[in-house]
């Protein structure tokens, strides 16, 4: 009631008082303008952010922290829609406020497996992986972890010295200051809270191998005081508005610089390349023959299979992207001269496995996949590539998804090739393909190793048995040509052990 009464009193003030106040404001207008200008000075805004976060209180020490992160695996879960499983990451990090370098040791747990700790060291423009005391330059995708820590971001923006004031906008219920800067990956925006000076969000458009581009946001929230500095208790990475990484900071301390592990990088390269991770790079293909008219097309990332039956060419899977699609098409033209109708069979829906889809749709190919894949594949085709239009985008008016859905045994070319749902508990909505003349089974992504029994391989074996197939050889996206007898041996080992094996 008291606060309300005060507000009422202000609105009922005498006219003379209002006029006096107005004249006072007019006299002070130049000073107010200078204040507004100061509030729009990027250097001052970033200096304030450093101050409220506690950069000056680090006293030549290194920030040492522990964190845990859940990294959603939307690109390779068992469905193309939520819920997705997460890779769970336990992190130990060291950040040097003077150099802006961060070192992070990350131990990752996937379903059924874990991995040794992997160490990365980054600065504002480069990422390196450390293994056996050797630093290896990595693509800029490794900087993703760096952006989850706003101490890195603020240090990078201050060090660049090229931030620009871009106005204000409403974000999470409050007005924020917007700063922008140009980077080698494109423009970034940093939103800062004008009330307190804290950074709230970093965002930018990111090129993407399947979706063309994505709006990526790094949100910093739940700020806490730890070791006399301020850190976000939680950080999030969102892509097109959906959370993909959720990170929680735990213990934070300051340690002497000589107590921290090495925080240094070589002078070269000056920037991390824009290259994709190796498994997505469309490296030149190695062609190996399976049968008279059946071949494997392989590079370090993925193997695909192709066969000619009459006037039809069947490509089993379309991975990596448009450039891989072009190389597949060139190989097909060399292997099978002349004009053919092309059918592409999509056996598994992980994002890298379908990244060549748009190229083949633009080229007029028929697409066959599990009928449950229709909506997802249509969304891939419908996605507008604005930042860097691909072949499909250039033919948007005429390109159409010519789709055939399969959820049971399906024969093609008089039974010369047949498609089969695998339908194990770990392989629902996935297909495998059988070439009867070659007695060859294309196992999709579901035999990944023959070093020991796995649930995936056992599910493939059971599907082949169920449908009366008698393969002599098999191959898959990550498996070279392998005798089927080896799969049978693994099946016997799994049955003798009384389990389905690991994934």
Whether 149 and 50 share a structural domain: yes
For residue range 279-305, list pLDDT tens digits in order: 999 999 999 999 999 999 999 999 999
Last residue of a domain, one of 212, 229, 259: 259
Share of the chain above pLDDT 70, in %: 91
Same domain (yes/no): 372, 464: yes
In a domain, 453, yes or no: yes
Cα–Cα distance between 497 and 503 in angstroms, integer? 15
Domain boundary among 196, 230, 259: 259
Mean pLDDT of 479-487: 98
Residues 470 and 348 in one domain: yes
Q: What is the distance in angstroms between the CA of the first residue and the CA of the last residue of the chain?
A: 65
Taking a C-beta distance cutoff of 8 angstroms, is the pair 313, 341 a contact?
A: yes
Give the pLDDT of residue 34: 54
Same-domain check for residues 215 and 288: no
Q: Determine if residue 132 is left, alpha or beta; phi over 0 gives left, psi from -120 to 50 gives alpha, anything else beta.
A: left
* Residue 136 forms part of a structural domain: yes
pTM of the model: 0.89
The crossing angle, in degrees rounded to 10, of helices 150-160 and 42-53 is: 150
Same domain, residue pair 402 and 254: no
- Separation CA 408–CA 371 (nearest Å): 10
The reply to whether 355 and 493 lie within a common domain is yes
Residue 25 domain-assigned? no
Strand-by-strand arrangement of the 417-421 sheet = 410-412, 417-421, 431-435, 440-442, 473-476, 479-483
Q: Are residues 345 and 452 in the same domain?
A: yes
Residues 185 and 304 in one domain: no
380: its two tokens: 């891939």
Q: Which of 230, 259, 288 is the endpoint of a domain? A: 259
Q: How many domains does the chain have?
A: 2
pLDDT bucket at 38, cuts 50 / 70 / 90:
low
Residue 106 forms part of a structural domain: yes
Percent of the chain residues past pLDDT 90, beyond the cut: 85
What is the band of 22 on the pLDDT scale with cuts at 50, 70, 90? very low
Residue 305 lies in a domain: yes
Considering the domain architecture, whether residues 208 and 311 belong to the same structural domain is answered as no
CB neighbour list of residue 382: distance below 8 Å, 6 or more residues apart: none
Q: State the average pLDDT over residues 17-44.
A: 53
CB 164 within 8 A of CB 42: yes
Same domain, 249 and 298: no
pLDDT tens-place string over residues 357-408: 999 999 999 999 999 999 999 999 999 999 999 999 999 999 999 999 999 9
- In this predicted model, what pLDDT tens digit does every residue of 154-187 receive, in sequence order? 999 999 999 999 999 999 999 999 999 999 889 9
Tell me if 301 is assigned to some domain: yes
Cis-peptide into 269, omega within 30 deg: yes
Residue 167 lies in a domain: yes
Reported as a pLDDT band with limits 50, 70 and 90, residue 418 is very high
Structural domain of 101: 42-259
CATH of the domain at 101: 2.50.20.10
Integer-rounded Cα radius of gyration of the chain: 29
Token pair in block for residue 96: 């040097």
Q: Are residues 136 and 198 in the same domain?
A: yes
Could you tell me which residue, 120 or 140, shows the higher pLDDT?
A: 120
Which helix (H) or strand (E) segment is 328 a member of? helix 322-335
Residue among 397, 375, 393 at smallest CA distance from 384:
393
Beta-bridged to residue 119, according to DSSP, are 105, 130
Look at residue 265 and tell me if it is in a domain. Answer: no
pLDDT given at position 349: 97
pLDDT per residue as tens digits for the range 210-247: 999 999 999 999 999 999 999 999 999 999 999 999 99
Same domain as 309, residue 250: no
**Phi, psi (rounded to 5 degrees) for 337:** -60, 150
CATH of the domain at 418: 3.60.15.10
Q: What does the pLDDT look like over 64-75, one tens digit per residue? A: 999 999 999 999
């Amino acid at each position: 009631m008291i606060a309300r009464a005060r507000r009422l009193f202000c609105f009922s003030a005498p006219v003379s008082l209002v006029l006096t106040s107005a004249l006072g404001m007019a006299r002070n207008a130049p000073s107010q303008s200078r204040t507004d200008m100061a509030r729009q000075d990027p250097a001052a805004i970033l200096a304030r952010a450093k101050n409220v976060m506690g950069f000056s209180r680090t006293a030549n020490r290194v920030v040492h922290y522990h964190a845990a992160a859940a990294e959603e695996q939307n690109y390779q879960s068992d469905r193309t829609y939520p819920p997705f499983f997460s890779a769970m990451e336990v992190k130990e990090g060291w950040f040097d406020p003077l150099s802006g370098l961060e070192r992070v040791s990350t131990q990752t747990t996937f379903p059924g497996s874990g991995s040794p700790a992997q160490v990365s060291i980054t600065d504002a423009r480069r990422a390196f992986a450390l293994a056996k005391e050797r630093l290896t330059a990595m693509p800029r995708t490794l900087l993703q972890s760096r952006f989850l820590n706003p101490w890195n971001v603020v240090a990078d923006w201050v060090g660049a010295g090229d931030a620009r004031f871009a106005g204000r906008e409403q974000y999470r219920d409050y007005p924020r200051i917007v700063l922008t800067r140009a980077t080698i990956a494109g423009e970034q925006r940093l939103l800062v809270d004008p009330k307190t000076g804290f950074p709230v969000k970093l965002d930018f458009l990111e090129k993407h191998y399947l979706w063309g581009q994505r709006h990526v946001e790094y949100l910093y929230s739940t700020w806490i005081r730890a070791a006399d500095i301020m850190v976000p208790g939680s950080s999030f990475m969102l892509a097109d508005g959906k959370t993909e990484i959720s990170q929680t900071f735990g213990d934070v301390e300051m340690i002497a610089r000589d107590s921290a592990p090495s925080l240094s990088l070589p002078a070269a390269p000056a920037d991390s390349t824009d290259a994709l991770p190796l498994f997505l790079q469309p490296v030149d293909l190695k062609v190996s023959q399976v049968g008279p008219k059946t071949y494997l097309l392989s590079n370090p990332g993925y193997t695909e299979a192709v066969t000619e039956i009459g006037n039809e060419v069947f490509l089993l899977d379309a991975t990596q992207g448009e450039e891989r699609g072009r190389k597949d098409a060139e190989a097909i033209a060399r292997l099978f001269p002349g004009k053919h109708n092309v059918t592409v069979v999509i056996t598994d829906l992980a994002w890298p496995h379908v990244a060549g889809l748009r190229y083949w749709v633009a080229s007029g190919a028929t697409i066959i996949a599990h009928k449950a894949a229709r909506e997802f594949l249509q969304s891939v085709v419908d996605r507008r590539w604005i930042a860097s239009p691909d072949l499909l985008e250039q033919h948007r008016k005429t390109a159409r998804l010519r789709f055939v859905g399969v959820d049971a045994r399906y024969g093609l070319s008089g039974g010369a090739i047949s498609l089969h749902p695998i339908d194990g508990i770990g392989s629902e909505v996935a297909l495998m393909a059988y070439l009867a003349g070659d007695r060859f089974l294309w196992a999709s992504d579901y035999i990944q190793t023959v070093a020991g029994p796995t649930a995936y391989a056992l599910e493939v074996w059971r599907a082949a048995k169920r449908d009366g197939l008698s393969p002599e050889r098999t191959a898959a996206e990550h498996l070279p040509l392998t005798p089927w007898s080896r799969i049978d041996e693994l099946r016997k080992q799994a049955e003798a052990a009384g389990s389905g094996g690991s994934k």
